[in-house]
């Protein structure tokens, strides 16, 4: 059976799709990158917020047209939306031939092999991680980086979020299993490991005996061909002085602090159940900056949370302007059914939420452009992501995560994907930089 896997959502979802691909390949199916050739399509969905659910539905409807216009016989749903809304979608969308919850690799492969049509979702409420333990992963891209999923689920209970209902409670993968997978990724040419989870800072606390993120980082750094390690999703209430010291020391772990701050107003942070406040956040940033002048701080914020006043939003803008954060991402609050905040009074109008997001990102754009201009004439270490015939290579600095941060376009030497080189920054064009390789 020829199968196409359509990936939607976050990098954690992409890792799950790699495991689905490996299982199908092991069981004798042929994977294709062209949906028009496929006899079966598996859509690995996301449903974190309303736009993600809408995208999942739109993609299913678009791909379903291949039943009339192509080779397609079966269209299956996998991932978060199948776990959370699978039966609803099977009832409301006849285009779907089956839905499979998280980690149901055996059931997916069996259905693909028999071209089964199902009228109910196959899932387990435990949302087990056994499919990740010692399993095969099929990575087909040529990028020099790979995402390493170190845990799944969440125990925090933030009032804007339904991840615990979808992904279950927080569960760490074993260190040995992660090192074995990282070894395989390094053999495939991956030079950067990006550690993804719902909360990297809690890694290992649930294992017996307990382990921690620093211990995992040390073991991953022992893999010779891995050059950069980038932990993502560091909860601001959980970042310790010991972790800051480790991440700002001379090792393979990058001085890159990805902090989901979500807001700065203490009253709103309490309503979000973030277990931190403005004072704690400011002390955290001061500690990071005191530890290293080179640390890059990336933060995410939610605007339009229920009850957010104009004064509280202005407080956020003033704070961001004062802090001059290196990287900022903003999101409008999305009321999710089953979340604590969905039923709160004082919901902010959609038009107002979008206005606030535009204002926040316009402010950060000016900060980012000024920071980039200040880099001109300096030297940065970069990793080559793509080489383009007749044009500059695409690269990233140590302070840039793929897909969410900026790029630097590099000339001046024969370059290969995965090369790590020193580059003289010569120009800045908005979010992008341009530079020339210099000799080490």
Is position 267 within any domain? Answer: yes
d(CA 100, CA 76): 8
CATH number of the domain within which 412 lies: 2.40.50.140
Mean pLDDT across the stretch 265-269? 98
Question: Which residues sit opposite 7 in a β-bridge?
Answer: 44
Whole-angstrom Cα Rg for the chain: 22
Q: 130 lies in a domain?
A: no
Q: Say if residues 184 and 137 touch (Cβ distance below 8 Å).
A: yes
Other C-beta atoms closer than 10 Å to the C-beta of 98 total 25
pTM score of the predicted model: 0.94
Confidence at residue 207, expressed as pLDDT on a 0 to 100 scale: 94
Give pLDDT tens digits for 126-154: 555 666 666 688 898 999 999 999 999 99
Domain end marker among 374, 399, 426: 374
Handedness of CA 197, 340, 59, 96 (dihedral sign): positive
Cα 169 from chain centroid?
A: 18
Q: Look at residues 374, 400, 426 and tell me which one is the last residue of a structural domain.
A: 374
Phi then psi for 101, rounded to 5 degrees? -70, -175
- Percentage of residues in the chain having pLDDT higher than 70: 97
At 440, is the pLDDT very low, low, confident or very high (cuts 50, 70, 90)?
low
pLDDT at position 202 over 90: yes
Instruction: Record the tokens describing residue 50, joined without a space.
Output: 């309303």
296-303 β-sheet, strand order? 256-262, 296-303, 327-332
Q: What is the span of the domain harbouring residue 342? A: 141-374
- pLDDT tens digits, 280-311: 999 999 999 999 999 999 999 999 999 999 99
- How far is 411 from 387, CA to CA, in rounded Å? 10
As a whole number, mean pLDDT of residues 365-380 equals 96
Total domains in the fold of the chain? 3
48-58 as b/e, with b when 16 or more CB fall inside 10 Å? bbeebbebbbe
Helix (H, G, I), strand (E, B) or coil at 171: strand
Q: Quick one: which H or E segment has residue 351?
A: helix 350-375
205 lies in the same domain as 262 = yes
Rounded distance, CA 305 to CA 314, Å?
14
State residue 84's pLDDT score.
87
Residue 133 counted as domain residue: no
Instruction: Determine which of 94-103, 114-123, 137-146, 277-286 has the lowest per-residue pLDDT on average.
Output: 114-123
Contacts of 214 (CB under 8 A, 6+ apart): 242, 243, 246
Label residue 337 by pLDDT band (50, 70, 90). confident
What average pLDDT is seen over the chain? 93
Q: How large is the greatest C-alpha to C-alpha distance in the chain, in angstroms?
A: 62
Question: Are residues 317 and 225 part of one domain?
Answer: yes
Residue 131 lies in a domain: no
């Amino acid at each position: 059976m020829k199968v196409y896997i359509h990936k939607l959502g976050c990098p954690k979802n992409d890792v799950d799709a790699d495991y689905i691909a490996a299982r199908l390949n092991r069981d004798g199916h042929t994977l294709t990158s062209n949906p028009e050739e496929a006899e079966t399509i598996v859509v690995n969905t996301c449903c974190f917020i309303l736009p993600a659910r809408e995208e999942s539905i739109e993609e299913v409807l678009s791909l379903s047209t291949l039943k009339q216009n192509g080779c397609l016989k079966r269209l299956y749903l996998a991932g978060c939306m199948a776990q959370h809304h699978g039966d609803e979608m099977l009832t409301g969308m006849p285009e779907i031939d089956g839905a499979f919850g998280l980690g149901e690799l055996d059931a997916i492969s069996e259905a693909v092999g028999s071209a089964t049509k199902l009228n109910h979702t196959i899932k387990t409420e435990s949302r087990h991680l056994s499919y990740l333990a010692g399993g095969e992963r099929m990575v087909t891209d040529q990028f020099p980086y790979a995402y390493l999923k170190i845990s799944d689920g969440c125990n925090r209970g933030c009032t804007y979020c339904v991840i615990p209902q979808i992904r279950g409670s927080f569960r760490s993968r074993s260190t040995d299993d992660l090192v074995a997978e990282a070894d395989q990724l390094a053999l495939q040419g991956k030079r950067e490991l990006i550690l993804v989870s719902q909360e990297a800072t809690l890694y290992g606390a649930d294992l017996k005996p307990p382990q921690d993120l620093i211990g995992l980082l040390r073991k991953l750094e022992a893999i010779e061909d891995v050059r950069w390690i980038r932990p993502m999703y560091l909860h601001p209430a959980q970042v310790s002085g010991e972790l800051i010291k480790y991440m700002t020391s001379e090792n393979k772990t990058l001085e890159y602090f990805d902090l989901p701050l979500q807001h700065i107003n203490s009253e709103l942070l309490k309503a979000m159940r973030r277990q931190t406040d403005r004072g704690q956040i400011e002390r955290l940033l001061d500690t990071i900056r005191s530890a290293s002048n080179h640390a890059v701080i990336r933060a995410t914020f939610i605007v339009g949370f229920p009850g957010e006043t104009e004064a509280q939003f202005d407080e956020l803008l003033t704070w961001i302007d004062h802090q001059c954060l290196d990287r900022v991402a903003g999101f409008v609050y999305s009321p999710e059914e089953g979340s604590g905040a969905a039923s709160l009074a004082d919901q902010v109008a959609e038009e107002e939420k979008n206005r606030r997001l535009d204002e926040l990102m316009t402010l950060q754009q000016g900060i980012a452009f000024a920071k980039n201009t200040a880099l001109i004439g300096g030297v940065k270490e970069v990793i080559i992501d793509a080489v383009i015939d007749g044009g500059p290579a695409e690269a990233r600095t140590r302070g840039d995560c793929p897909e969410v941060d900026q790029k630097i376009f590099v000339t001046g030497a024969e370059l290969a994907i995965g090369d790590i080189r020193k580059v003289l920054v010569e120009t800045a064009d908005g979010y992008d930089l341009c530079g020339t390789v210099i000799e080490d």
